[in-house]
């Protein structure tokens, strides 16, 4: 994707937003350094939104670089979605932690944390205005599609999303990694099929909801 006026304008606005977020430092951010902002192509036609950074993301300052991220990036590549043409981000921009057996572990964001971060995600999407959004897991689907989203019933379907986008939700890759045996095979196959459906819709043609 070539740089152009849209790319330059969005890149600047995203830089400004990142600075604004660092100053706001909402929970669970312990310091502005812990902020993991979205990354990728600012003129992307697809934004991929996860839940919250984990340890590797917090250490590197980049979203989806740990095991779940590797699965996501590999499956996107298999589906024919070029990584340099997407924007990857999270609802919550700081790693939520809990101490378990004396060790710092990841935990799911609280409802309050998710609701405090949601307006920032909306600002981010307002700048990006991607025609397509992929929501990973229930938290992102609940924010981007509707409250109480049910992955078992509603995954893999297109819904109207913010700023006239079309949003599809699939399993969070961490969930996919946790599934083993026959259930694991089914979940992995559905995850691949959902990303293939996104790839099909990314091809030139009508993108916004409804098709």
Minimum distance from residue 142 beta carbon to ligand URA (Å): 13
Pick the closer one to ligand URA by CB: 69 or 207. Answer: 69
Locate 134 and state its tokens: 């992929």
Q: Which residue is nearest to ligand URA (CB)?
A: 50
Give the single-character DSSP code of 210: P
Pick the closer one to ligand URA by CB: 59 or 208. Answer: 59
Minimum distance from residue 119 beta carbon to ligand URA (Å): 19
Minimum distance from residue 66 beta carbon to ligand URA (Å): 6
Minimum distance from residue 91 beta carbon to ligand URA (Å): 8
| DSSP notation for 20-84 | HHHHH--TT-SSGGG----EE-TT-SEEEEES---HHHHHHT-SS-SHHHHHHHHHHHHHT--GG
Pick the closer one to ligand URA by CB: 130 or 207. Answer: 130
Interacting residues with ligand URA (CB under 6 A): 50-54, 57, 63-64, 66, 68-69, 90, 174
Pick the closer one to ligand URA by CB: 37 or 207. Answer: 37
Q: CB under 8 Å to 174, separation ≥6 — which residues?
A: 54, 67, 68, 137
Are residues 133 and 46 in contact, defined by beta-carbon separation less than 8 angstroms?
yes
């Amino acid at each position: 994707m070539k740089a152009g006026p849209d790319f330059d304008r969005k890149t600047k606005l995203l830089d400004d937003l990142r600075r604004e977020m660092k100053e706001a430092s909402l929970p669970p951010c312990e310091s502005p350094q812990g902020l993991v902002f979205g990354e990728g192509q600012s003129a992307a036609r697809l934004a991929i939104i996860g839940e919250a950074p984990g340890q590797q993301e917090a250490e590197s300052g980049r979203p989806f670089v740990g095991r779940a991220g590797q699965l996501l990036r590999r499956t996107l590549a298999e589906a024919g979605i070029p990584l340099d043409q997407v924007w990857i981000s999270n609802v919550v921009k700081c790693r939520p932690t809990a101490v378990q057996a004396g060790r710092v572990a990841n935990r799911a964001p609280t409802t309050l944390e998710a609701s405090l971060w949601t307006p920032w995600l909306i600002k981010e999407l307002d700048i990006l205005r991607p025609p397509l959004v992929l929501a990973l897991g229930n938290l992102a689907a609940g924010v981007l599609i509707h409250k109480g989203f049910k992955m078992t019933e509603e995954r893999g379907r297109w819904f109207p999303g913010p700023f006239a986008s079309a949003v599809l939700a699939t399993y969070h890759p961490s969930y996919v990694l946790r599934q083993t045996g026959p259930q694991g095979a089914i979940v992995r196959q559905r995850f691949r099929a959902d990303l293939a459906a996104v790839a099909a819709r990314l091809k030139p043609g009508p993108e916004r909801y409804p098709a």
